Amino acid sequence: MNAPSDTIFGKIIRREIPANIVYEDDLCLAFRDVAPQAPVHILLIPKKPIVNLSTLEPEDQAVLGHMMLMASQIAAQEGLSNGYRVVTNIGEDGGQTVYHLHFHILGGRALSWPPG
């Protein structure tokens, strides 16, 4: 597995690959997914290279809490007042394809359950 800084998301953070960025601060970056699965599909990533939730360390608590607050603010910014979903995939069986922690913010239509 590649180190997270070597993934496509690391390249987006370093501006080596363009992205349609909707939010950025010192801790995280959010951008529109290039293959959206809903009318609004935004990826929210930490700037710190973290593989996924299974690899979190105690010092990651603050950045993850911050990201959850930002997910809510980004959803509001995108007009998702009728609801939305925040999803992360962990490992191969969980559907993770980029090994840099990321949250999908999905909305703009009714989302069905179960998702997979």
The DSSP bridge partners found for residue 73 are none
- In the chain, which ranges are E strands? 21-24, 28-32, 40-46, 84-87, 103-107
- 102 part of the active site: yes
Q: What is the DSSP string of 48-82?
A: S----GGG--GGGHHHHHHHHHHHHHHHHHTT-TT
- Of 66, 100, 102, 104, the active-site residue reads 102
Three-state DSSP state, 86? strand
Catalytic positions, please?
102
